Amino acid sequence: MRIAVQGKQMDVGDSLRTHIEEALKTRTEKYFDKAVEGTATVSKDKHLFKSDITVHIGKEIHVQGRATAGDAYAAVDESLEHISKQLRRYKRRLRDHHRDQDRIEMEAAQQFVISGEDDDAVDAVSGQPAIIAEIDTKIQTLAVADAVMRMDLADLPVLVFRNSANGGVNVVYRREDGNIGWIDPATAESTSVK
């Protein structure tokens, strides 16, 4: 497994780099012996250290762990623990996914990143945030449970996918109360017609 370790506004020493590489290999190989790559970014913000670790374990499957602590090692260990917890929770479903990878269908789509209020990129005419990036992305055909799993693994707030049950474009998202919301326009159309 390839692992890239980088520091953001700080120098990651050899000791921390070795700690991250060994711990990440150990924790991922416990569940998946064929993880593709990992990326770890450690940054310092005032007196806190932030750790952001991503592991690519299969085709279009990423596991994300983020943490903040007063010590760089503690932040890294907390991020790695989050990744281990996710892998442990979903290991059976992920292994089954690896057997069925050839059946995954994807469509090309555009993904837009919109600047927030604290960004400088604001449209002068409307005062609204401007679109600052456009990225090609894939919309996967998944079951709802698999979409929720992928959203949880990648620590995403929302995931757009094509529902394997009805072929429609669906959305799952994390609600403010911590539960998962699911938007299925096909279901809404069938209930409004009656």
Q: Residues 159, 151: contact at Cβ < 8 Å?
A: yes
Cα 14 to Cα 61: distance, rounded to the nearest angstrom? 29
Q: What is the pLDDT of residue 60?
A: 74
Question: What is the CATH architecture of 105-193?
Answer: 2-Layer Sandwich (3.30)
Cα 100 to Cα 67: distance, rounded to the nearest angstrom? 32
Cα 33 to Cα 55: distance, rounded to the nearest angstrom? 13
Per-domain residue ranges of the chain: 2-101, 105-193
Alpha-carbon separation of residue 91 from 2, 28, 34, 87 (angstroms): 21, 11, 13, 5
pLDDT of 13 higher than 70: yes
Instruction: Place 109 in a pLDDT band, splitting at 50, 70 and 90.
Output: low
Place of tokens 């809404």: 188
Cα 35 to Cα 27: distance, rounded to the nearest angstrom? 11
Higher local confidence (pLDDT), 178 or 135: 178
**Fold for the domain defined by 2-101:** Double Stranded RNA Binding Domain (3.30.160)
What is the chain's mean pLDDT, rounded? 80
Instruction: Place 20 in a pLDDT band, splitting at 50, 70 and 90.
Output: very high
Cα 35 to Cα 37: distance, rounded to the nearest angstrom? 6
Cα 61 to Cα 173: distance, rounded to the nearest angstrom? 17
Cα 188 to Cα 194: distance, rounded to the nearest angstrom? 11
Higher local confidence (pLDDT), 111 or 49: 49
Please state which of the ranges 52-56, 95-99, 141-145 shows the lowest mean pLDDT: 95-99
Alpha helices in the chain (DSSP H): 14-29, 72-99, 144-153, 185-193
Q: Residues 144, 170: contact at Cβ < 8 Å?
A: yes
- pLDDT tens, 78-97? 999 999 888 888 777 766 65
